[in-house]
Amino acid sequence: MLPYGRQSVTEEDVEAVAAVLRGDWLTTGPAVAAFEEELALWTGGVPCVSVTSGTAALHVAYSAAGIGPGDEVVTSPITFVATASTAHLLGARVVFADVEPDTANLDPAAARAAMTSRTRAVTAVDYAGHPAEYDELRAVADAAGAVLVADAAHSIGSAYRGRPVGSLADLTTFSFFPTKTVTTAEGGAVAVPDPARRARAAAFRNHGLVRDPARQREPGHGGWHQEVHEFGLNYRLPDVLCALGVSQLRRLAAFRSRRAALAARYGTLLSGLPGLSLPVRRAHADPAWHLYPVRVHDGRRREVYDRLRAAGIGVQVNYVPAYWHPAFEDLGYRRGMCPGAESYYAEQLSLPLFPGLTEAQQDHVAESLATVLR
């Protein structure tokens, strides 16, 4: 089955990992800082805290923002469930606001309407790699005294009005799962401009341990002493995976241009097909496409999905609205809440897009799709 996404791993990547395996530090060593520094080259210099997954990154980000019981987090339903579930796990109430019809990104007007005196965070999702409307969302968040979070699991390497993703929000989370644009197998990171918030993020990833005697409550115990002031978890990304990350990030420019070329080629191959809409790029956005999301009209998405799968083309649907998950349904979330998201979901289909996709494979996808639609 041709997958909808897959990693691109070279012998150079393998060598980078093997070198760490032969060395002294499998984890908590120098490759961690090296990876975080390499990542900051893509966030406009905003420092990053590496973690074990995109989900961990969201958990760390909300925790560093002080999200807890009684707080509300406003976000988009067109996302992977982790954008919302991590806020819920911290005790917050998730409030879903509808998406814009073209990009399927959080609609700033809908976000504004969802704000209350309890809103502590607004989380945008750069769906498919297309950045959300950060200037408008910043105004919405600021007016309510909320933090602006960017779930940039799809959008590393994208830019909005000339500014890179990672520099647009108070906390930006990345995922390095194999289908994403850059991979460390499992992995993630949070970009955090504010030093105090960044220190909280780094502490949460490492059990909340305080090693600096100047900050300890009882520094006199001896050199071994470490204290926990606030509980955290072990979300440390090991050196083995950080080494893969450094090697991968050095190819991000190439990944981005290959994905852009394939996306443009899909645009040509699929233009004019009946019953199909192609992804939209807004003039001020420079997306590093993670997905190539088309819309299948006339109620035919299920049929197109099934027939392409049967033909060995691993199309995917991204995503079922997050509040349709039974876990949210059981909390009282009801269908119909975000009609724009629901109609987007009803038509959405992700076509294969990854750097190793050949033009012959892409032609086959386009021809198969055309055969089904005609």
- Name the residues that contact ligand PLP, by CB under 6 A: 53-55, 79-80, 82-83, 125, 151, 153-154, 175, 177, 188
Give bridge partners of residue 188 from the DSSP assignment: 51, 175
Token readout for 6 is 């897959």
Residue closer to ligand PLP (CB basis): 120 or 154: 154
Shortest distance, position 100 Cβ to ligand PLP, whole Å: 16
Residue closer to ligand PLP (CB basis): 62 or 80: 80
Residue closer to ligand PLP (CB basis): 350 or 368: 350
What size, in residues, is the chain? Answer: 374
The helix/strand/coil state of 158 is coil
Buried b (16+ CB within 10 A) or exposed e, 289-322: bbbbbbbbeeebbeebbebbeebebbbbbbbbbb
Which residue is closest to ligand PLP by CB?
Answer: 54
Token readout for 89 is 């796990």
- Considering the candidates 130, 180, 259, 301, report the single residue annotated as catalytic: 180
Q: Cα(first)–Cα(last) distance of the chain, in Å?
A: 23
Instruction: Please tell me the distance from the alpha carbon of residue 300 to that of residue 276, in angstroms, as a whole number.
Output: 10
Shortest distance, position 299 Cβ to ligand PLP, whole Å: 26
Shortest distance, position 151 Cβ to ligand PLP, whole Å: 5
Amino acid residing at 35? F
Instruction: Please tell me the distance from the alpha carbon of residue 150 to that of residue 131, in angstroms, as a whole number.
Output: 9
- 180 an active-site residue? yes
Work out the angle at residue 322's Cα, subtended by the Cα atoms of residues 285 and 149, and round it to the nearest 5 degrees: 45
Residue closer to ligand PLP (CB basis): 80 or 333: 80
Shortest distance, position 5 Cβ to ligand PLP, whole Å: 10
Shortest distance, position 129 Cβ to ligand PLP, whole Å: 10
Residue closer to ligand PLP (CB basis): 151 or 239: 151
Residue closer to ligand PLP (CB basis): 98 or 368: 98
Shortest distance, position 296 Cβ to ligand PLP, whole Å: 21
Residue closer to ligand PLP (CB basis): 172 or 175: 175
Shortest distance, position 79 Cβ to ligand PLP, whole Å: 5
Q: How far is CA 296 from CA 275, 299, 301, 349, in A?
A: 6, 7, 5, 7
Q: How far is CA 13 from CA 175, 241, 263, in A?
A: 18, 10, 25
Write the DSSP string, 168-231.
Answer: SSSEEEEE--TTSSS--SS-EEEE--SHHHHHHHHHHHBTTEE--GGG-SSGGG-TT--EESS-
Instruction: Give 127's DSSP letter.
Output: G
CA neighbours closer than 13 Å in the CB half-sphere of residue 356:
11
Q: Pick from 322, 349, 155, 168: which is nearest to 252 by CA?
A: 155
Which residues have a catalytic role annotated? 180
